[in-house]
A and B are shown apart, each in its own frame.
Chain A
Amino acid sequence: MRITDDSNYRNLLLDIQRIAERMQNAQSQVSSGKRLNRPSDDASASADVVSIDAERATNAQYLDNAASAQSRLEVADNALDGVQLVIERIRSLGQLAQSGNTPSATSTYEINQLRDQILSAANTVFEGQSIFAGSKTDGAAYVKAGNGTVSYSGDSMVTKLQTGRATSIQSQIPGDQIFSGSIDIFQTITDLMNAINTGDKAGIQTGVTNLGTLSQTVSSVRTQVGGLINSAAAAQSDLRQTELTQVAQLSRLRDADLSRALSDFSQSQIALQAATAVGARVSSISLLDYLK
């Protein structure tokens, strides 16, 4: 083949361009730490990154939801723990009154205080929400009227939070399943105080029995809440596991293999040096140098 000056330069230029392109590619991988800098770097990996990124964002929200459910349930459990102690105390005060050992005024004074404690527990607020008011969380669950009667102003809705694609966890238990179900705790206590005041033994007996039932209700709700806390915790650990897998997948898909990128870079650097050196040599050889 006849070689001309023109083709020497053209080949040199194309080679240098291609090497420079490879160098730039390696350089951007090193500086960004990413293998995928644009979708065309690897279209199917980029598409996978989109799906996994989306799942990861949704997963993070599920994790938040599960944590929020757990916090709510723990607050509820704490409140109910207190309520159970108070019920037991009222029950024993009732039993004492039944045996006639304490002055009725002393008993009813304390019972009245304890009733307010239960009311305040039933109106427990978490992050501005009444956790025992069903879905009507922005108001108090139980309202005490001027005459002392307490009524439920929540509803019977069971609130859940989404903790997975197809799973949700109950985060709140409405008050009408605890304090004002088949037996109303506040009415029971009011009736008990009246019975003590009037010395109505049968009435006191009914009150004490009802309080026993209520104590069992609270206890069984606490068992339910404990179960829910466990599943919220389990959901979180599952979601964290998923998150770790997703992060690993993302890293595999889009993070640059630094050692490879660096070796690519130095390889192209050597190639570029060689190409320019040879190019300079070739163009310096001319017949003219030998004709004097």
Chain B
Amino acid sequence: MPSQNGSVRIGVYVCHCGFNIASVIDVEAVAQFALTLPGVVVARDYKYMCSEPGQTLIEDDIKEHNLNRIVVAACSPLLHEETFRTAAERAGINRFHVQMVNLREHGAWVHDDRAAATAKAKDLVHGAVLRVHYHKPLQPKRVPINKAVLVVGGGIAGIHAAITVANSGKPVYLVEREPTIGGNMAKYDKTFPTLDCAACILTPKMNAVRSHPNITMWTYSEVVQVDGYVGNYKVKVRRKPRYVREDLCVGCLHCVDACVFKDPKFPDTFNIGMNKRKPIYLPFAQATPKVVVIDPEACIQLKTGKCKQACAAACERGGINFDMQEEIQEIEVGAIIVATGFQPFDATRAPEYGYGVYPNVYTSMEIERLVNASGPTGGEVVLRDGTRPKSIGVVYCVGSRDERYNRWCSRVCCMTALKLSHLLKEHTGAEIYNFYIDMRAAGKGYEEFYQRILNERVHFIRGKVAEVCDWALDPSEEGKLVIRVEDTLTGYVRRIPVDMVVLAVGLEPRADAQEVRRIMNMSCSSEGFFLEKHPKLAPAPTYTDGVFIAGCCQGPKDIPDTVMQAGYAAAEAMALADTGFFEIEPNTAHIVEEECSGCKSCVDLCAYKAISFNEVKHKAEINPVLCKGCGVCVASCPSGSIRQDLFEDEEIFSEIEGVLATV
């Protein structure tokens, strides 16, 4: 055994974690066993090692027994390694002389057999005890933090995060894929439960983004590449050509009037295709920036080069430029807040509800636009043939809580459906039938809102809709959409004929969430939303330091929760920037020069180009700034002359020896 700091003196601490560990693993026996292992001076079990008395226990032992290595057998190192490293450091030993054994997540929580789980625990402790003999004193590496923050996505989450960070005086880049910020929220008519107008509360925030001196807003742009590490990210942003100069356009719309298409002819995506727009358009009245954009798929000039370019002639400021090219901008930021939002469930995936087959089946998103004063019909709720619906069925949980589509509850659809019921009643006076499974109204003022709608002479039928069809069984169903449902409160199967069906579609991850995840080096949870670092205590940080998530890209949530998470992500990014540095694990690789044979086999293996070859010395060299500590080169070196701090060969070999030592 090495004798770097004199003899190795180890303390082993086995945590009960209340009953979490102790109910399955014989913690006392594990501690007793640890006492028999080489170098172990003290071994104890304690109810909560992470508590203050638990930590004090370790600190006191370090001083009293002159310990220089600590093994804590408790929960996952990903949870409490920092706690025990800091405790050890307080007592005067190097923080990297601590090794954790994962008895909870990898032991007590996954096994029932007490004897087998205890045997496993002993083996793991044995491995850790042998391992710490080889631990060396190390210093954490400090990297400086660039104060600039990148916010990806300009919906309400991105807008709120950007303004919050910018208000603290840090430069912010807000990158939005669409020609305007606003996201999904800009499409809503009213917001539950207060029924205040979405545009009225959102527009001031959009304006604040545009006019904020610390915010650089890039719409119609996408992040294409992220390199670097916490505090020092290098980001490439693709700025798509909008063929209109942002610095010249004032949003007068003379160009739109002048366009050679006298009538709008192309689907208006903002209104979910329910009306038409011209090739040159402003997405909606409050679009921010108030700059028009030309759709290259529709514009004659861009498609054929043979247009008289009436729009360009109409622009007295000369703002239209058909030669505009895509640009790649490179920026450097310290932190990234990803707020890329959700997409509504595609209702055509649930064919039993007839969306896309029967013209009068709508999604909740379409109704949001239909009831809106700036919507396709100017706020007039009419069917596709122009008539007013006299009866409307609202189907809840479309695409949510369904094993065939998405298993999760989308959290907002119940409230959205209640809100739309209210608005539709208000606009049409029609009979409204709500078909729900469970009414989920958890939120401030939500249950009260539900009670309010219950008193608005709206019908509620508890049952999952089986089918929407146009097959009339009697004259009253003729020409109507028939909703077939089991009313689970009365126990009858019912057929309810209506003029209009509204599908309260759920929220799901965006189609390209996986692509974004890869660019950001994040993980996704199993349903495809971005994975937070901890589901309860770190719901905005991710496993990639310096990358935070906010809003519905992390999971379905309503506007208040989105804003709260965005503020939290902003606070994390600001704390990072204000600290000015970040401590990273000193787990980089280095070359033992005397042993390097100069074979160069490591040089090409490094994904970060951290290894170069010194032709003079005929040795490989590792740049510690570029090294990320994966250990690929260490495993490849034929002469064993590359070492990785914290994961040295001896450390791992001794761990192998330890976990297998008991025959």
Q: Do A and B bind each other?
A: no
Residues of B within 8 A of A (CB): none
